[in-house]
C-alpha cells in the first residue's frame, strides 16, 4: 500500500526513472527466457509478471496500474488499479505488458517484448469500455499527411510522396487476422507491401514510428490498451498515432456510449496520453527488428532494451549483461 504522506503529486517523473523501469522489463524478459519456444504461453507470461512486479516494488515512484494484466489475462497481479512502486516520488499512471506477444514467445517467433509505459497521474486514456481500436501509426514524415479517415490507398500514396519514395517501397504492418482480409487486399492494390504480424501489436506500432525502420505504416484493429502504450512511444519519436474505438458487438458499443465515449471521434496522441512527459521502456524477449531477444551466452544473460522519453525526445539503447548464476 502506498504511503500517501510521502507521495508528492507536484513531482514529475524525471530521467532517472527510465533506468529504474528498464530493470523491471529486463527481469521479465530473463524470467520468460526458459519458456521461449516451449509452447506454454501462460507459464511464460506468469514468470514475466512475477519478475516485473517484484522489481517495480523497488522503484522510486507512486504508480497506479491503469493498463494491466487482469482484464486481459485474468491475472492476479499487475491488475488495473494495483499500486506499484515504493510510494516515494512522483505520482504516475502505469501501463504494463510483461510480454507483448505471449504466443510469439511460446512459439519462439520474433518480436515479443516486455513493455512498461509511464505518464503523469491521470493522463492516460481509460480503455476499459472498449477493448479494440482501429489504429494508424507512422513516423514524423506522416505528420499532417496521413489521416485514418482516408482510404488506406490514399494514405499510402500520400506517405510515399512525403518520404520521396515509390508506393512499392512502402511497407505496412498489419495483424494477420481474418478481419483484415479486405484491408490487406487494399494495401497491396495500392502498390505497397505488407508485413503480416501474428501478434505483437506494440512492436508493430513502434517500428512504424521509428526512424530507419523497415516498416513505414502500421494499421488495423488491435488492442486499445496497446494503442495507449504505443502512444507513449510515439510522443517521444515525433510520429503519428490515430485511433477510433472499435466495439466488438452491440453490448460493448452500448457500454462505450454509456461511459461517455464518442465512437466517431479520432483519438490522437494527446487524447490517448494527456501529458508531455511519457516514458516507454521495452526489452526484447525474442529477436526483433529494433531490439535483440534475451540470450544466454555462457556465464552471462544478455538483454537488449530501448528507453524513450517524450519530454527530451530521446531514444536510448541499453544492453546489459547479467551473471546467469544469480538467476538460477
Residue 22 has, within 13 A of its CA and on its CB side, a CA count of: 23
Are residue 180 and residue 266 in the same domain, yes or no?
A: yes
- The annotation places the binding site at 45, 69, 97, 100-102, 132, 177-179, 199-201, 223, 226
Tell me: the pLDDT tens digits for 229-271? Answer: 999 999 999 999 999 999 999 999 998 898 888 999 999 999 9
pLDDT surpassing 50 at residue 1? no
What pLDDT is stored for residue 247 in this prediction?
93
Are residue 98 and residue 186 in the same domain, yes or no?
A: no
What pLDDT is stored for residue 13 in this prediction?
58
Q: Cα angle vertex 139, ends 210, 170, to 5°? A: 95
Single residue among 226, 253, 272 that ends a domain in this structure: 272
Cα Rg for the chain, rounded, in angstroms? 19
- Residue 197's Cα: distance from chain center in Å? 15
Domain assignment present for residue 225? The answer is: yes
Mean local confidence (pLDDT), 269-297: 94
What pLDDT is stored for residue 8 in this prediction?
47
Residue 21 CA to residue 25 CA, distance in Å, equals: 7
Domain assignment present for residue 266? The answer is: yes
- The annotation places the binding site for substrate at 100-102, 132, 177-179, 199-201, 223
pLDDT band at residue 99 under the 50/70/90 scheme: very high
- The annotation places the binding site for Mn(2+) at 45, 69, 97, 100, 226
Are residue 45 and residue 112 in the same domain, yes or no?
A: yes
Domain assignment present for residue 243? The answer is: yes
Number of domains comprising the chain: 2
Are residue 190 and residue 322 in the same domain, yes or no?
A: no
Are residue 76 and residue 153 in the same domain, yes or no?
A: no
Q: What is the average pLDDT score of the chain?
A: 91
Cβ-based neighbours of 139, under 8 Å, separated by 6 or more? 208, 209, 210, 211, 213, 216, 237, 238, 239, 240
Domain assignment present for residue 71? The answer is: yes
DSSP assignment of 288-325:
-SSSPPPEEETTEEEEEEEEEETTTTEEEEEEEEEEGG
Are residue 80 and residue 145 in the same domain, yes or no?
A: no
pLDDT surpassing 90 at residue 200? no
Mean local confidence (pLDDT), 198-225: 93
To 10 degrees, the CA torsion angle through 276, 101, 285, 96?
A: 40
Are residue 23 and residue 50 in the same domain, yes or no?
A: yes
Are residue 152 and residue 258 in the same domain, yes or no?
A: yes
Domain assignment present for residue 90? The answer is: yes
pLDDT surpassing 80 at residue 295? yes
What pLDDT is stored for residue 6 in this prediction?
42
CATH number for 176: 3.40.190.90
Domain assignment present for residue 290? The answer is: yes
Q: Is the dihedral of CA 155, 232, 227, 287 positive or negative?
A: positive
Residue 91 has, within 13 A of its CA and on its CB side, a CA count of: 12
pLDDT band at residue 16 under the 50/70/90 scheme: confident
Residue 142 CA to residue 251 CA, distance in Å, equals: 35
Q: What percent of the chain has pLDDT over 70?
A: 93
Q: Is the pTM of this model over 0.75?
A: yes
What pLDDT is stored for residue 3 in this prediction?
44
- Residue 207's Cα: distance from chain center in Å? 11
Q: Secondary structure of the chain: what % helix, strand, coil (to 5)?
A: 35, 30, 35
What pLDDT is stored for residue 78 in this prediction?
86
Answer yes or no: are the C-beta atoms of 14 and 85 closer than 8 Å: no
Mean local confidence (pLDDT), 68-82: 70
Are residue 246 and residue 285 in the same domain, yes or no?
A: no
CATH number for 316: 3.30.540.10
Are residue 58 and residue 84 in the same domain, yes or no?
A: yes
Higher-pLDDT residue of 16 and 26 is 26
Domain assignment present for residue 11? The answer is: no
Which run of H or E residues covers position 132?
A: strand 132-138
Single residue among 256, 272, 288 that ends a domain in this structure: 272
Domain assignment present for residue 2? The answer is: no
Are residue 266 and residue 284 in the same domain, yes or no?
A: no
Mean local confidence (pLDDT), 192-221: 94
The 10 Å CB-count burial string (b at 16+, else e) for 89-125 is bbbbbbbbbbbbbbebbbbebbbbbbbbbbbbbebbb
Tell me: the pLDDT tens digits for 123-156? Answer: 999 877 788 999 999 999 999 999 999 999 999 9
What pLDDT is stored for residue 5 in this prediction?
41
Are residue 259 and residue 289 in the same domain, yes or no?
A: no
pLDDT surpassing 90 at residue 46? yes
Range of the domain at 86: 16-124+277-326
Amino acid at each position: 500500500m502506498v504511503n500517501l504522506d510521502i507521495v508528492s503529486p507536484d513531482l514529475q517523473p524525471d530521467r532517472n526513472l527510465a533506468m529504474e523501469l528498464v530493470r523491471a522489463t529486463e527481469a521479465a524478459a530473463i524470467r520468460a527466457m526458459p519458456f521461449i519456444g516451449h509452447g506454454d504461453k501462460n507459464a511464460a507470461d506468469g514468470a514475466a509478471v512475477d519478475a516485473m512486479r517484484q522489481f517495480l516494488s523497488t522503484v522510486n515512484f507512486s504508480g497506479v496500474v491503469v493498463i494491466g494484466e487482469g482484464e486481459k489475462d485474468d491475472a492476479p497481479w499487475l491488475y488495473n488499479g494495483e499500486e506499484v512502486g515504493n510510494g516515494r516520488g512522483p505520482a504516475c499512471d502505469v501501463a504494463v505488458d510483461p510480454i507483448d506477444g505471449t504466443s510469439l514467445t511460446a512459439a519462439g517467433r520474433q518480436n515479443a517484448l516486455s513493455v512498461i509505459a509511464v505518464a503523469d497521474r491521470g493522463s492516460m486514456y481509460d480503455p476499459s469500455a472498449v477493448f479494440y481500436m482501429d489504429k494508424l501509426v507512422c513516423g514524423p514524415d506522416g505528420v499532417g499527411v496521413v489521416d485514418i479517415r482516408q482510404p488506406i490507398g490514399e494514405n499510402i500514396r500520400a506517405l510515399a510522396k512525403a518520404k520521396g519514395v515509390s508506393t512499392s517501397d512502402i511497407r505496412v504492418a498489419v495483424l494477420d487476422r481474418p478481419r483484415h482480409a479486405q484491408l490487406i487486399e487494399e494495401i497491396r492494390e495500392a502498390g505497397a507491401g505488407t508485413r503480416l504480424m501474428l501478434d505483437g501489436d506494440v512492436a508493430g506500432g513502434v517500428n512504424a514510428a521509428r526512424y530507419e525502420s523497415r516498416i513505414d505504416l502500421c494499421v488495423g484493429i488491435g488492442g486499445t490498451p496497446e494503442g495507449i502504450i504505443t502512444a507513449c512511444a510515439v510522443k517521444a519519436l515525433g510520429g503519428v498515432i490515430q485511433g477510433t474505438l472499435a466495439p466488438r458487438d452491440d453490448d460493448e458499443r452500448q457500454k462505450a456510449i454509456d461511459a461517455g465515449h464518442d465512437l466517431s471521434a479520432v483519438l490522437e496522441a494527446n487524447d490517448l496520453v494527456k501529458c508531455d512527459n511519457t516514458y516507454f521502456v521495452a526489452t526484447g524477449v525474442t529477436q526483433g527488428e529494433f531490439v535483440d531477444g534475451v540470450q544466454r551466452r555462457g556465464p552471462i544473460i544478455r538483454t537488449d532494451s530501448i528507453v524513450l522519453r517524450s519530454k527530451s525526445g530521446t531514444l536510448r539503447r541499453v544492453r546489459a549483461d547479467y551473471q546467469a548464476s544469480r538467476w538460477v
